[in-house]
Homo-oligomer: A and B are copies of this chain.
Amino acid sequence: MSNYKSLKQEAYECNMQLQELGLVIFTFGNASVVDRQRQVFAIKPSGVSYGTLNATDMVVVDFENNVVEGELRPSSDTKTHAVLYSQWDAIGGIVHTHSTYATAWAQAQCDIPILGTTHADHLAFDIPCAPVMDDQLIKDDYEVSTGYQIINALKDKNLSYREVEMILVGGHAPFTWGKTGEKAVYNSAVLEEIAKMAAITKGINEEAPRLKESLIKKHFQRKHGDGAYYGQK
């Protein structure tokens, strides 16, 4: 019997949602969900296709990257997840995809500028693109460094992971997170749509202006501020 049955089930469902939402093909991408009390997270096994994935295949790993339960090798990006869980104590889930448009922005090595309210409904800042890592970091412990690259990119821009739940890793692809695994999945889908809209917008009008601050604030606040009136109480 598993000691982590519900955790693994939750991680499984998050991974399967990525496929249903059209955010992954084959084995591209992975989702994890954390159990804060036991300081472990369940993550997709490495290189297993979404078509054949089962809840029991999920691998439970601690923050030092030791496999606690599971017969399969965890995702090759596991160390990145571990760094983020250990550094950011308010997140409950992490998602990594190679979704088409978000990855294109990561490859373009550009922040996604905030061009409209669809973006502002979710975050009040440009979606940052972390710079490509130094050669030494790539050689040393690449996946750990990816975690710190993400953390430092937010710090450098003076952003909190609570306010900005998505990032592009330059030359690579997006990572998203959230209070739950479900929210992290949602953020991946939203990011892909924002990335697509922004690419098309720039194609229509290369000079499309950044959304003005008053409108950014309004849309973000009505959904997430103290007096938020979007959604149900």
Q: How far is the CB of A112 from chain B (nearest CB, A)?
A: 9
B172 adjacent to A142 (CB under 8 Å)? no
A190 to B27, CA, bound (A): 11
Choose among B135, B171, B204 the residue that contacts A104 (Cβ–Cβ < 8 A). Answer: B204
Q: Is the CB of A116 within 8 A of B103?
A: yes
Q: Which of A5-13, A42-50, A85-93 contacts B (4 or more CB under 8 A)?
A: A42-50
A220 to chain B, nearest CB (A): 12
Given contacts A100-B200, A204-B104, whether A47 and B215 have CB atoms under 8 Å apart is no
Q: Considering the chains assembled together, what is the distance between the CA atoms of A180 and B209 in angstroms?
A: 35
Contacts of A214 in B (CB 8 A): 135, 138-139
Q: B108 near A204 (CB under 8 angstroms)?
A: yes
Q: Check if A230 sits within 8 Å of B76, measured CB to CB.
A: yes
User: A58 in the interface, Cβ–Cβ < 8 Å?
Assistant: no
Q: Is A132 interfacial (CB 8 A cutoff)? A: yes
Binary per-residue interface labels of chain A (176-201) against chain B in the complex, 1 for a CB within 8 Å, 0 otherwise: 00000000001001100100111111
Q: Is the CB of A28 within 8 A of B108?
A: no
Contact (Cβ within 8 A) A116 B106: yes
Q: Which residue of B lies closest to A137 (CB)?
A: B214
Kindly provide the distance from the CB of A19 to the nearest chain B CB, expressed in whole angstroms: 14
Q: Which of B27, B138, B199, B212 contacts A200 (CB 8 A)?
A: B199
Q: List chain B residues, Cβ under 8 A from A215.
A: 132-133, 138, 171-172
- Contact of A201 (CB < 8 Å), options: B108, B198, B230: B108
